[in-house]
A and B are shown apart, each in its own frame.
Chain A
Amino acid sequence: MYLSVAPSPHHKGTGDTSTVMRNVALATMPGIAALVYFFGAGVLVQIIICITTAMLTEAAVLHLRKKDISTTLKDNSALLTGLLLGLSIPPLAPWWIGVIGVVFAVLIAKQLYGGLGFNLFNPAMVGYVLLLISFPVAMTNWSVPTELSHHQVTFSDIISVIFTETTTTGMTVNDIRHTIDGVTMATPLDTLKTDLTLGLTVGESTAKDMFSSWAGFGWEWVNIAFLVGGIYLLKIGVIRWHIPVAVIGSLLFCSLLGYLLDPDSHGTPIIHLFSGATMFGAFFIATDPVTAATSNRGKLLFGVIIGALLYIIRNYGGFPDAIAFAVLLANMTVPVIDYYSKPTSYGNKAD
């Protein structure tokens, strides 16, 4: 009779890493849908490029490291890294942008540190920052919301632009980005930043087309969609409230403070919360468990740091959006936060 012996506990809950990762990926669906709706199918193409590259890179590294490829790939972590980076890349960016970013993210930022769980920095954001610094033009050429676009872009045009840099009719990305008015269009946050440096007030800047609604055309819905996905993650317990709430709360506090002090040169809290990658960053990037602080108190502090950095860089830094920088800088503080935020364990309360 064979008696199977294992250490206790002999019973195990159902959660596993691949489910966690898959749930995070699923929760991006509303956001993806919104992006596709406003910016076209290029989003999907970028995501596919990035996920494919991520899986291939991971498999190659695992092969070199003589690890079991299939079981590790099944943890879905490479998939998620590819997905998150794919979501961050401008929909019509050339294919090699995504490839370079993902290879760097998976190879350098993750596997060279020892693979899943050992990386200090959020791999997707490392890849993003590399791209942003190395290829600033390609990385800031965000598409115009299709509704505002002068041109009707077909799916074949998108494929053509991504892989050959021109459409079937010979247009470049910049041509496509012309609005109906013939003006090149940037993202709302970019526009706001540029306008402010040009001496315009926030009010004058937000009078433009892209601010036609309350937080920037299209972007507000993208942010709401990511917020919905994030709430889903909270609900199923994949992430906990501490980091998103701290990020959003901190950003809200800073932007409110800035807006109250000087409304002409500081965007409204609404713009900050619902433009750019705020919700995406708060729920999907900052909550990456591997690179976030561990204890609940630490998580709160970690989120506050991200929110504050986000606002500071957006307002006073050289970049219109700053999720990636804020998260990477906060990642650096994690060991210290962890050290000082250890909860008081049972029976160790100082009386």
Chain B
Amino acid sequence: MKTILNLVDEGHLWDFHGGIHPPSRKERTKDSAIVPIPMPQHLYIPVAQHVGQPALPIVQVGVNTRQGQLIARKEGFISANVIAPASGTVCEIADYAACHPSGIPTQTITIATSTEQNFESLEPLSLDDDNQKILERINTSGITGLGGASFPTAVKLAPNKPIEYLIINAAECEPYITADDALMRERAADIINGIKVMQKLLNPTRTIIAIEDNKPQAIAQIEQAADDSMIVRAIPTLYPAGGEKQLIEVLTSLQVPSGKIPADIGIVVQNIATSYAAGNAVLKGQPLISRIVTVSGDLVERPGNYEVPLGMSIKDLLEQCGFKASQRQKIIVGGPMMGFALNDINAPVVKATNCVIAASEQELPNPPPEQNCIRCGDCEQVCPAQLLPQQLQWFAKDQDHDKLKQHDLFDCIECGACAYVCPSSIPLVQYYRVAKAEIRSEEREKQQAQRAKERFEQRIARLEREKTEREERNRLAAEKRKAAMKGTSNGDAIAAALARVKAKKSQAQEESAAPNDRVAAAIARAKAKKAAKQTTTPEQSSEDENQLEQKSRVADAIARAKAKKLAAQQADQAPQSDENQQVAPAEPQLSPEEAKKARIAATVAKAKAKKLAAKQVEQAPQPDENQQVAPTESQQSTDEANKARIAATVAKAKAKKLAAQQAEQAPPHAPAKLEAEQAPRTPPPAAVESELSPDEIKKARIAQAVAKAKANALAKKNLKK
């Protein structure tokens, strides 16, 4: 049995279902040579000229561009670069009429072209270069499918499966269009070079160039230029033989499975103009900046095949071709079967624009009003996807989405053959487009609804969880409170409060003044160390130790003194604000707790003062220490030493004064004595700290600092009162 490959080699062709023979109307332009169009004053270059994500502009308004320069970079995998088709100045980056059926403006880079064009070509590569390098070049050059779909070419040329057939689509089955025909007639060698580039990238078993048999000159040119690795195949003229899927069936008998792409069955189809552009980009270093456009229709005086810079407005293009506007006209971009009617003539020529038709309503009349479908089934006979268009139409009108999917609506290629033959003038394709859009949006909504539902359910669960947690916390707290209430002799709140105050008081007493001192001392030490470091060199470290000790002590003293002064002031003022001598009774308005705290603070301060006094008395008669320190300090900074001494003296004086003042008040306060006695016995802060881990020390210090701050705040409060 012969394999498909054998049959292909023998020149066997297959049929696709249906198809029509619309009047070709190619006579006007089929023999015209390619004419370059002069550069217009402005080019409008949309950043979205391809399937996939729009490119990102990388130029700003006002910058000068050179022809061939990158002006918008591809974004994401399926996207394409946009190249400046002309030298000039970027004069605007804004939304501008799009070359799209919707006509919705899209982001467009406007270039005011200069009179001199400097083409910035890239270094030509050769077929010996690395595949990756060639692909990168195709990417850089902004090449997309030029047959109409404008799919980024580099993506298609890097399939993840081995390729059996590379099909070059030169069918050009749409009426009017002769752009590919002209290209083949005039530039066959470059086309073949482009196909060689693609062959290198894909390494296909067979390369087939398919041309409809109504282009004998083109077939001859291509046959002459092609090498042995390429099969040139003339295929019967039948619309839509140039449809990708139909062409595959005609040439190989294979069908692309629904929902798959040709690469899935080992086939890549490239338009012939794309291979030309890719060849130029790789082998000549010319990025995609222009394309061949057929301009036709009864309203243009000079129909023909023009080489048009991308971005030229269709209005400018038509004017170059002698467009005579009439009262009503249709400007079709693409062919009459699948192209779209432009609703803004200022839209630019883009990569996918292969044809512009300016036709009067006599040449391309609007269809008569839609009549009822008589189920004649003509549409079904011509449908190249072998669908049941009339059934789809009924389902579409009923919005019966299930039936539409069941009848393979999404396999419709929108070729328009059904609408072309419909005796009732039903715009079938439009119904399918709308239905497809409805189904897509319905599915999107379904997905969104599903996501929203999940999110809602998760939220409900979270709220529920939080609620139970909160309730549990509240319950535990309530239990604790109840337990606490039961613990007190009488259950009332005042008693409880009193109990708490007492507890705090005893705690405060246990936390002796020493730790507070330690904090202050620590801070002071830190300061001293910092100061020492600023002045000492690393070799003097042993001396520094002593010096540090000294300094820290001094700072200690200052800090403590300040604290005491505050306490003293408080103690002084308290009696003034009140007639009574005693502090505690003198403030009946104060809660017992506050009063006690104040007293505690005072006591602590006094105790500190005494301790300090004692300490400093001891230090004073020790001249050796001072002598020891002094020389070192003098070596570094006499100023600091002096300051420290002065500060120490001041502190001492203050402490004495304070001690004297407080001595009068002290007797009623037993704890003060106790503390005063304890204070000297407290080991030096450094010693204590050395036994503790750094973490614990830190924690302790923080606790102390907080306690002090509270005490101060309270004291201040009391003062105000």
Contact = CB atoms under 8 A, between A and B. Distances in A.
Nearest to A349: B255
B425 A16 contact: yes
Contacts of B249: 346
Interface stretch (B43-51, B340-348, B510-518, B674-682): B340-348
Nearest to B379: A294
A316 interface: no
A3 interface: yes
A19 B369 CA distance: 15
A8 B339 contact: yes
A9, A12, A13, A295 pick with most chain B CB within 10 angstroms: A9
A294 B331 contact: no
B345 A3 contact: yes
Interface string B319-360: 000000101111110001111111111000000000000010
B338 A8 contact: yes
Nearest to A10: B336
A163 to B, nearest CB: 35
Nearest to B418: A9
Nearest to B373: A117
Interface string A317-351: 00000000000000000000010001111111100
A118 B372 contact: yes
Contacts of A349: 255
A347 B380 CA distance: 16
A140 B345 CA distance: 69
A252 to B, nearest CB: 24
A4 B328 contact: yes
A178 interface: no
B337 A117 contact: no
Contact of A294 (B257, B368, B388): B388
A292 interface: yes
A20 interface: yes
B345 A4 contact: no
Given A1-B345, A346-B411, A290 B328 contact: no
Nearest to A287: B376
A137 interface: no
Interface string B418-442: 0111111101011001000000000
Interface string B368-389: 1101111111101100111110
B384 A346 contact: yes
A87 B38 CA distance: 69
A41 B111 CA distance: 81
Nearest to B390: A294
A6 B408 CA distance: 25
Interface in A112-160: 115-118
B245 interface: yes
A11 B366 CA distance: 8
Contacts of B390: 294
Contact of A240 (B341, B377, B387): B377
A290 B374 contact: yes
B369 A71 contact: yes
A118 B332 CA distance: 35
A199 interface: no
Interface string B519-539: 000000000000000000000
A11 B330 contact: no
B239 to A, nearest CB: 10
A12 B408 contact: no
Given A5-B343, A348-B408, A117 B338 contact: no
A289 interface: yes
A294 B373 CA distance: 12
Nearest to B416: A9
A345 B411 contact: yes
A8 B433 CA distance: 11
Output the residue of A3, A75, A77, A290 with the most chain B CB within 10 A.
A3
Interface residues of B, number: 72
B20 A7 contact: no
Interface SS of chain A: loop
Contacts of A6: 330, 341, 366-367, 427
Interface in B243-290: 245, 249, 255-260
Contact of B381 (A1, A75, A77, A240): A240
A345 B424 CA distance: 24
B425 to A, nearest CB: 7
A2 B364 CA distance: 15
Interface in B412-465: 414, 416, 419-425, 427, 429-430, 433
Contact of A4 (B361, B411, B424): B361
B175 interface: yes
Given A240-B381, A346-B17, A346-B385, A1 B341 contact: no
Given A3-B329, A348-B258, A9 B336 contact: yes
Contacts of B371: 16-17, 75, 116
Nearest to B372: A117
Most central of B256, B259, B425 by chain A CB within 10 Å: B425
A7 B427 contact: yes
Interface in A1-57: 1-13, 15-17, 19-20
Nearest to A11: B336
Contact of A343 (B329, B386, B414): B386
B399 interface: no
A118 B424 CA distance: 14
A289 B374 contact: yes
A201 B474 CA distance: 106
Contact of A3 (B255, B343, B386, B433): B343
B162 interface: no
Contact of B424 (A9, A16, A299): A16
A17 B378 CA distance: 11
Given A6-B367, A9-B336, A19 B380 contact: no
B41 to A, nearest CB: 20
Contact of B420 (A1, A5, A9, A294): A9
Nearest to A9: B416
Given A1-B329, A3-B330, A12 B375 contact: no
A289 B377 contact: yes
Contacts of B416: 8-9
B391 interface: yes
B419 A9 contact: yes
A118 B371 CA distance: 12
Contacts of B332: 10
A142 to B, nearest CB: 31
Given A1-B329, A3-B341, A8-B337, 14 more contacts: A3-B342, A4-B330, A5-B341, A6-B367, A7-B340, A9-B429, A12-B419, A12-B425, A15-B378, A15-B423, A17-B374, A117-B374, A240-B377, A294-B380
Nearest 5 Cβ contacts at the A-B interface? A9-B416, A117-B372, A347-B258, A11-B336, A7-B430
21 contacts: A3-B330, A3-B341, A5-B342, A6-B366, A7-B433, A8-B341, A11-B420, A12-B365, A17-B371, A19-B423, A20-B374, A115-B372, A118-B372, A289-B375, A294-B390, A295-B388, A342-B388, A345-B387, A345-B408, A347-B259, A348-B411
